[in-house]
A and B are shown apart, each in its own frame.
Chain A
Amino acid sequence: MANMSEQGGLARRRRVGRVWARVYQACVGLAALALVILLLKIVDDAFGTVAVVNVVDPASLVSADGRSLDRQSAGELAGLARDTLDEEGRPYVSTDRLFTLFLDEIARTALPPSALRNLTLGQALIDGQKFPQEWADRTLFDLRLPDVERSERDARARADIATLLADNVEQGRLLELVYSDVVQIELLESWNLIDSLTRQDEIRDRAARDFPQATLEFRSWLNADFLRTPGSSQALTSGIRVALLGTLWMLVIAIGVSLPLGLGAAIYLEEYARDVNNHRLLRLLNGFIEINIRNLAGVPSIIYGILGLAVFVRAMEPLTSGRLAGMGGTDGRTVLSAGLTMALLILPIIIINAQEAIRAVPQALREGSHALGATRLQTIARQVLPVALPGMLTGVILSVSRAIGETAPLVVVGAATTIFIDPDSPFSRFTVLPIQIYRWTADPREGFQDVAAATIIVLLLLLLSLNVSAIILRNRYSARARRTL
Chain B
Amino acid sequence: MAQVQAVQGPGAGKAATLERALRSRSLKRRPRPLEAIVRLLLLLCGLVSILSTIGILVTLGENSLLFFSQRSWQQVKYDSVERAEVVNLGQDVSLAAAMDAQDRYLTLNLDERATLPISEGQLIELGVEQMRVVTARREGLEVERGANDTQALAHPVDTAVFVHKERTALLGAEMTADDTVIELPPGAAAAFQVDDLIQADEEVMRVLLVEPVSDMLTVRRGEDGSNPARHSAGLPLFSPAAVTPGEFLTGTRWNPQLGHLGIWPLLNATLMTTFFALLTALPVGLGVAIYLSEFASSRVRSLVKPVLELLVGVPTVVFGYFALTWMTPLLQQIIGPEVKQFNTLSAGLVMGIMIVPTIASISEDALGAVPRALREASCALGATRQETIRRAVLPAAVSGIMAAFLLGISRAVGETMIVALAAGAGPNFTFNPLEGAETMTGHIVRISGGDISYNTIDYNSLFAIGLLLFLLTLAFNIVSGAITRRYREAS
Q: Which residues of A contact B (CB under 8 A)?
A: 1, 4, 10, 13-14, 16-17, 20-21, 23-28, 30-32, 34-35, 37-38, 41-42, 45, 260-265, 267-269, 272-273, 286, 288-289, 292-296, 298-307, 309-311, 314, 344, 347-348, 351, 375-377, 401, 404-408, 411-412, 415, 434, 437-438, 441-442, 449, 452-453, 456, 459-460, 463, 467
In contact, B322 and A405 (Cβ under 8 angstroms): no
Q: How far is the CB of B52 from chain A (nearest CB, A)?
A: 5
Given A20-B386, A268-B43, does the pair A300, B50 have CB atoms closer than 8 Å?
no
Q: Are B441 and A302 in contact (CB under 8 A)?
A: yes
The residue on B at minimum CB distance from A302 is B416
B279 → chain A closest CB, angstroms: 14
Cβ-closest chain B residue relative to A345: B52
Cβ of A415 and Cβ of B449 under 8 Å apart?
yes
Give the docked Cα–Cα distance between A263 and B317 (Å): 29
Decide: A306 and B444 in contact? CB cutoff 8 A.
Answer: yes
- B326: chain A residues within 8 A (beta carbon): 37-38, 41
A35 vs B44: C-alpha distance in the bound complex, in angstroms? 42
Beta-carbon contact of B469 and A302 below 8 Å? yes
Return 8 A-B CB contacts under 8 Å, by A number: A265-B48, A272-B39, A300-B414, A301-B414, A306-B448, A309-B462, A310-B463, A376-B35
Cβ of B63: which chain A residues have Cβ within 8 Å of it? 310
Q: Are B386 and A300 in contact (CB under 8 A)?
A: no
A267 to B49, CA, bound (A): 14
Decide if B325 touches A1 in the complex (CB within 8 Å): no
Contacting A38 at CB < 8 Å: which of B314, B381, B385?
B314
Tell me the bound Cα distance from A406 to B317 in angstroms.
8
Instruction: Give the top 3 A-B pairs by smallest Cβ distance, nearest first.
Output: A300-B414, A27-B287, A405-B315
| A41 pairs with B53, CB closer than 8 A | no
* A411 near B449: Cβ-Cβ < 8 Å: yes
Q: How far is the CA of A304 from the CA of B415 in the complex (A)?
A: 13
Residues on the B chain within 8 Å of A45, using CB: 325
Contact residues in A for B420 (Cβ distance below 8 Å)? 408, 411, 438
A295 to B295, CA, bound (A): 34
Give chain B nearest CB distance to A455 CB in angstroms: 9
Other than the given A41-B325, A309-B448, 10 more pairs (CB < 8 A) read A17-B386, A28-B288, A31-B353, A32-B304, A264-B45, A272-B43, A296-B53, A298-B410, A407-B317, A438-B421
- Interface-central residue, B295, B315, B444, by most chain A CB under 10 Å: B315
Distance (Å) between the CB of A468 and the closest chain B CB? 11
Chain B nearest CB, measured from A298 CB (Å): 4
Indicate if the CB atoms of A415 and B448 lie closer than 8 Å. Answer: yes
Among residues 104 to 136 in chain B, which have CB atoms less than 8 Å away from a CB atom of chain A?
A: none
Q: Does B213 contact A (CB under 8 A)?
A: no
A467 in contact with B313 (CB, 8 Å) = yes
Expressed in whole angstroms, the Cα–Cα distance for A4 and B390 within the complex equals: 14
A299 to B49, CA, bound (A): 13
A-facing residues in B35-55 (Cβ within 8 Å):
35, 38-39, 41-50, 52-53, 55
Whether B49 lies near A26 (C-beta < 8 A) is no
Bound complex: CA of A10 vs CA of B382, how far in Å? Answer: 10
Write the nearest CB–CB distance from A254 to chain B, whole angstroms: 13
In the assembled complex, the CB of B356 is this many whole angstroms from the nearest CB of chain A, namely 5
Q: What residue in chain A is nearest B38 (Cβ atoms)? A: A377
User: Is there an interface contact between B384 and A262, defined as CB atoms closer than 8 Å?
Assistant: no
B320 engages A265 (CB within 8 Å): no
Count contacts on B: residues with CB < 8 A to the other chain: 91
Q: Of B42, B417, B449, which one neighbours A272 at CB under 8 angstroms?
A: B42
Closest approach, in angstroms, between the C-beta of B354 and any C-beta of chain A? 9
With A24-B295, A377-B35, A467-B313 in contact, do A408 and B416 touch (Cβ < 8 Å)? Answer: yes
Question: Which B residues lie at the A interface, using CB under 8 A?
Answer: 32, 34-35, 38-39, 41-50, 52-53, 55-56, 59-60, 63, 283-288, 290-292, 294-295, 304, 307-308, 310-311, 313-322, 324-326, 353, 356-357, 360, 381-387, 389, 407, 410, 413-417, 420-421, 441, 444-445, 448-452, 454, 462-463, 466, 469-470, 473-474, 477-478, 481
List the B side residues contacting A314 at CB < 8 Å: 454
Q: How far is the CB of B311 from chain A (nearest CB, A)?
A: 6
A28 to chain B minimum Cβ distance, whole angstroms, is 5
Residues of B within 8 A of A405 (CB): 313-318
A4 and B387 contact, CB distance less than 8 A: yes
| Set of chain B residues within 8 Å of A407, measured between Cβ atoms | 315-317, 416-417
Would B45 and A1 count as touching, CB distance under 8 A?
no
A355–B184 CA distance with the chains assembled, in angstroms: 71
- CA of A4 to CA of B310, assembled, Å: 42
The residues of A that contact B415 with a CB separation of less than 8 Å are 300
Known: A27-B287, A34-B353, A309-B448. A268 touches B313 (CB 8 A): no
B-side contacts of A304, CB under 8 Å: 56
Q: Is the interface of B mostly helix, strand, loop or mixed?
A: helix
Nearest residue in B to A45 (C-beta to C-beta)? B325
Minimum CB distance partner of A439 in chain B: B449
Report the minimal beta-carbon distance from B87 to chain A, rounded to whole angstroms: 38
- CB <8 Å contact, A459 and B315: yes
Contacting residues, chain A, for B318 (C-beta < 8 A): 38, 42, 405, 437, 456, 459-460
The answer on a CB contact under 8 Å between B41 and A408 is no
Bound-state Cα–Cα, A303 to B440, Å:
11
Q: Given A4-B387, A17-B384, A348-B49, does the pair A31, B288 have CB atoms closer than 8 Å?
A: yes
Contact B307 A299, beta carbon cutoff 8 Å: no
Closest CB in chain B relative to A339 CB, distance in Å: 15
* Complex Cα gap A255–B389 (Å): 46
**A441 pairs with B35, CB closer than 8 A:** no
CB pair A295 B478 closer than 8 Å: yes
CB distance from A131 to the nearest CB of B (A): 44
In the bound complex, CA of A273 to CA of B311 (Å): 36
Question: What residues of chain A lie closer than 8 Å to B381, measured between beta carbons?
Answer: 1
B317/A265 in contact, CB under 8 A: no
Shortest CB distance B453–A (Å): 11
CA of A24 to CA of B454, assembled, Å: 52
| Structural contact, A13 and B52, CB atoms closer than 8 A | no
Choose from A27, A310, A347, A460 the contact partner of B49 (Cβ within 8 Å): A347
Query: How many angstroms from the CA of A434 to the CA of B321 in the assembled complex?
Result: 11
| CB-contact partner of B48 in A261, A286, A306, A309, under 8 A | A261
Whole-angstrom distance between the alpha carbons of A295 and B473 in the complex? Answer: 10
Supposing A24-B287, A38-B314, A300-B469 touch, asked if A265 and B46 sit within 8 A by C-beta, the answer is: yes
Question: Which residues of chain A have C-beta atoms less than 8 A from B55's C-beta?
Answer: 307, 311, 344
Q: How far is the CA of A166 from the CA of B385 in the complex (A)?
A: 85
Nearest Cβ on chain B to A170's Cβ, whole angstroms:
41
Docked pose: A415 CA to B386 CA in angstroms? 53
- Contacts known (A265-B46, A302-B441); A21 close to B295, Cβ less than 8 A: yes
Q: List B contacts of A263 (CB < 8 A).
A: 45
Please state if B448 and A434 are interface contacts (CB–CB under 8 Å).
Answer: no
Q: Identify the closest chain B residue to A407 (Cβ).
A: B317
The answer on a CB contact under 8 Å between A13 and B416 is no
Rounded to whole Å, the gap between the CB of B491 and the closest CB of chain A is 20
A310/B315 in contact, CB under 8 A: no
Asked if A300 contacts B473 (CB within 8 A), the reply is yes
Kindly report which residue of chain B lies nearest to residue A434, judged by CB atoms.
B317
Which of B39, B52, B287, B413 sits near A347, CB closer than 8 Å? B52
Please determine whether B317 and A437 come into contact, CB atoms closer than 8 angstroms: yes
> Given contacts A262-B45, A302-B441, A375-B35, is CB(A31)–CB(B413) below 8 Å?
no
CB within 8 A of B383: which of A1, A28, A269, A415?
A1
